[in-house]
Amino acid sequence: MKIFSSEITPYKHYINRRKFIKSSLAAGLVLGTSTTIQANHSSNQNIYANQVDENDSLNSFEEITTYNNFYEFGMGKTDPSENSSNFNPKPWSINLEGLINNPQVLDLENLLQKIAIEDRVYRLRCVEAWSMVIPWQGFPLSELIKIADPLSSAKFIQFVTVFRPDEMPGQKRRLLPWPYVEGLRMDEAMHPLTILSTGLYGHDLLNQSGAPLRLVVPWKYGFKSIKSISSIRFVDKQPEATWSMLAPSEYGFYSNVNNFVDHPRWSQGTERRIGEFKRRKTLMFNGYEEEVSHLYSGMDLRKYY
Q: Residues 294, 295, 300, CA angle at the centre, nearest 5°?
A: 95
Query: What CA–CA distance (Å, rounded) separates 199 from 135?
Result: 9
180-205 in b/e burial notation, b at 16+ Cβ within 10 A?
bbbbbbeebbbbbbbbbbbbbbbbbb
pTM here is: 0.85
pLDDT at 13: 52
Q: Calculate mean pLDDT across residues 202-210.
A: 95
Q: Total domain count for the chain?
A: 1
Asked whether 139 and 120 are in contact (CB, 8 A), the reply is yes
pLDDT at 267: 87
Of all residues in the chain, what percent carry a pLDDT higher than 70? 80
pLDDT at 123: 72
Q: Calculate mean pLDDT across residues 154-179.
A: 97
Inside any domain, residue 302: no
The domain containing residue 133 runs over which residues?
Answer: 5-296
Inside any domain, residue 301: no
3 state SS of 125: strand
Q: Calculate mean pLDDT across residues 238-252.
A: 95
Inside any domain, residue 303: no
Query: Among the listed ranges 53-62, 85-94, 187-196, 259-268, which one has the minimum average pLDDT value?
Result: 53-62
Distances (CA, A) of 305 to 107, 170, 276: 35, 28, 28
pLDDT at 12: 52
For residue 157, which amino acid is it?
A: I
Asked whether 250 and 264 are in contact (CB, 8 A), the reply is yes
Summarize pLDDT for 267-283 with one digit per residue, the tens: 889 999 999 999 999 99
Q: Is the pLDDT of residue 180 over 50?
A: yes
Q: Is the pLDDT of residue 124 over 90?
A: no
3 state SS of 183: strand
pLDDT at 202: 85
pLDDT at 114: 67
Q: Is the pLDDT of residue 28 over 90?
A: no
More confident site: 85 or 267: 85
Inside any domain, residue 272: yes
Q: With cut-offs at 50, 70 and 90, classify the pLDDT of residue 170.
A: very high
The CATH number covering residue 144 comes to 3.90.420.10
Q: With cut-offs at 50, 70 and 90, classify the pLDDT of residue 7.
A: very low
Asked whether 214 and 72 are in contact (CB, 8 A), the reply is no
Inside any domain, residue 46: yes
More confident site: 197 or 8: 197
